[in-house]
Amino acid sequence: MSAYCLETKDLCHQFSTGQVALNTVNLCVPEGSIYGFLGPNGAGKTTTLRLVLGMLKKQKGHISFFSEPFDANRIPILQKVGSLIESPSVYAHLSAEENLRVFQLIYRCPSERIGIVLRATGLTDTGRKKAGQFSLGMKQRLGIAIALLNDPRLLILDEPTNGLDPSGIIAMRELLKQLNKERGVTILISSHLLSEISKLVTHAGIISKGRLVFQGSMTELQSSGDGDLETIFMNLTQN
């Protein structure tokens, strides 16, 4: 059995304009890791994440979660995965609790999970305030709460710190570390800022112009070139 929570083989994608978005991407996210998916803007991070979650129609390659092909096991796999892709998806006319109730009904998880994730993301005091009146940071935290609702085995977060203030970024980093350490949740987190997530991740995958130019542990990344992490990252993405 593979020790990877998520694995892609020769994943390719081309936009309708003919532009190649992904070129044979072989992503391997080890079980129990915090995997930083890094790359400059437009490198293909979001396209990869949208493909693995089935939001984009797969053109070429294989995707498997927990050693099972995604195509044939979409529903049982999604039951074990939490996700936040790009900007938060919240119903503006509903409160935080109602937003979570919408998804709790679908995941069929215990109602107590709503209180748990509200506390974990610091949204317990929002009461009946509608999500449309939330700040961007609060919406982002609600998006993370939705991703955590089903107590996922794998958490996929696409640029989750967008819109968060420095204290929000630190709080989220601690929350993700805690989830990984105490509950064994594997986390795949994408960012275009290495400095932002280097303190958090155990493994990294670096994508540039649709190609995975590095994949391995943080120790391997540090020993893969001269200079600090930023310099290594810059060298990898500019070559």
Partner 1 sequence: MLTFVHSFASEWLKRKRTAAAWLVVIGGFFIPLIILGARLYESGGLAAANQHPRLWEMLYERCWQFMGFFLLPMGVILAVSLVTQLEFRNNTWKQVFCTPQSLTTIFLAKLAIILVMLLQFFFLFNIGIYLTGALPCLFFRDVHYPSAAFPFRLFLEGSGKFFLDALPILGLQYLVSLRFKNFLVPLGVGMGLYVASFIAVHWKYGYFIPYTYCYYDFLGKRSPLPAGISIHEWALGYFIGLTVLSYILYISKKEKG
Could you give the C-alpha distances from 190 to 40, 45, 49, 50, 128, in angstroms and in order?
A: 10, 7, 9, 12, 32
Shortest Cβ 125–partner 1 spacing (Å): 21
Which DSSP symbol is given to 131? Answer: G
50 touches partner 1 (CB under 8 A):
yes
Total residues contacting partner 1 by CB under 8 A comes to: 33
Site for partner 1 in 101-140 (CB under 8 A): 101-103, 105-108
User: What is 167-234 written as a DSSP string?
Assistant: HHHHHHHHHHHHHHHHH--EEEEEES-HHHHTTT-SEEEEEETTEEEEEEEHHHHHTTSSS-HHHHHH
56 touches partner 1 (CB under 8 A):
yes
Query: CA 223, CA 220: separation in Å to the nearest integer?
Result: 5
Token pair belonging to 137: 């940071």
Considering only 23, 26, 79, 217, the residue that binds partner 1 (CB under 8 A) is 79
Shortest Cβ 88–partner 1 spacing (Å): 8
Q: Given the complex with partner 1, which of 107 and 116 has the nearer CB atom? A: 107
Q: Given the complex with partner 1, which of 86 and 196 has the nearer CB atom? A: 86
61 touches partner 1 (CB under 8 A):
no
The footprint of partner 1 (CB under 8 A) covers: 50, 53-57, 74-76, 78-79, 81, 83, 85-94, 98, 101-103, 105-108, 143, 146
